[in-house]
Amino acid sequence: MRIAQFFLRTYFRLLSAVAPDLAAKKAALLFQRAQKRKLRAPERVFYAEHSAQFLSYRGAELPIFEWGNPNAPLILLVHGWNSNAGSMSGIGNRLVAEGYRVIAMDLPGHGLSEARHTNLLEMQRAMQALFDTLGDTPFSIVSHSFGSAVSSFALAESGVKADKLIFLTSPNRMEAVFEDYQQLIGLGKKAFTKLLNIVGHILRRPIQEATVTNFLKHAEYTSLLLIHDRSDKVIPFDYAVDIYANTERTRYLPIEQTGHYRMLWVEDVIDMVADELAGNLAPRYGNASLDYRNKRQH
């Protein structure tokens, strides 16, 4: 265990024991603090090559990146937690080459966003602001990881209809996200219960009801494809199965040996995304593999 994490866990264990209310409040603030990681090389290239437009949002400005044919079908790219718009640029560049218009956003607290804190509600509101600028323009969404929860929540709250949804992994129960967080920081049981109440207040619903499956039941979309690595170490593959089993118009496509982040740059996964958007991906529920490209050509 790293020294910083050891002291963090020790701090929250002690604070949970003597002041659970305060421990819950501090845990909530810590979770929402923006933690911008160092950009990976392909992401640095993206920011060097693309200039941001800025969307006014709740007194701040959100960086928006648009490229491709402005008159072509629109695809929105939604990155995950502790990530950025550049993480989706491998997929975006391919879709532009296929003739699409692409928009990616740095969600609040991420990338070039100046926000100092963020949460699911703030991200949902940011996507709502983007939807508002699109008017009646049809669009599909390709999202990664926590971006899939953001997309689901935004569609459910806005009433806007999307065409195709492609989730490159997705969490499901928001409560499970905080269960992992509890273990990470060593938060006591009573303080954790109070933390869940704080989160529920922020989301304006009991945390138990904050699931991607529930969001999707209130969202309008034509179809959903989940692409998920069976051995994903960040978001368990079972989440894809749960979402598939509890939603309509949904398929899931298991893959292997891509990892949670690296999948965004794997050519076979990008092929799957492009084929699904073009209507060329077979409507199957399994048996995907890294020889997908060769199978597709036969």
Q: What is the pLDDT of residues 9-30, one digit of tens each?
A: 999 999 999 999 999 999 999 9
Q: What is the pLDDT of residues 95-106, one digit of tens each?
A: 999 999 999 999
pLDDT of residue 116 exceeding 90: no
- Residue 56's pLDDT is 86
- Residue 1's pLDDT is 54
Q: Which of 188, 183, 260 is nearest to 5 (CA)?
A: 183
Report the b/e string of 10-49 with b at 16+ CB within 10 A.
Answer: eebeebbeeebeebbebbbeebbeeeeeebeeebeebbee
- Residue 57's pLDDT is 81
Q: What is the pLDDT of residues 169-193, one digit of tens each?
A: 999 999 999 999 999 999 999 999 9
Judge contact between 220 and 155, C-beta under 8 A.
Answer: yes
- Residue 286's pLDDT is 46
Query: Which run of H or of E encompasses 224?
Result: strand 220-229
| Residues making up the chain, counted from first to last | 298
Judge contact between 191 and 23, C-beta under 8 A.
Answer: yes
pLDDT of residue 121 exceeding 70: yes
pLDDT category of residue 37 using cuts at 50, 70 and 90 = confident
Average the pLDDT over 29-53 and give the result.
Answer: 93
Q: What is the pLDDT of residues 207-265, one digit of tens each?
A: 999 999 999 999 999 999 999 999 999 999 999 999 999 999 999 899 999 999 999 99
> Rounded to two decimals, what is the model's pTM?
0.93
pLDDT category of residue 287 using cuts at 50, 70 and 90 = very low
Residue percentage of the chain with pLDDT more than 90: 84
* Distance (Å, whole) CA 141 – CA 103: 10
Cα four-point dihedral sign 295, 262, 43, 107? positive
Domains of the chain: 33-172+211-296 (3.40.50.1820)
- Residue 39's pLDDT is 94
pLDDT category of residue 149 using cuts at 50, 70 and 90 = very high
pLDDT of residue 73 exceeding 90: yes
Average the pLDDT over 104-124 and give the result.
Answer: 94
- Residue 36's pLDDT is 77
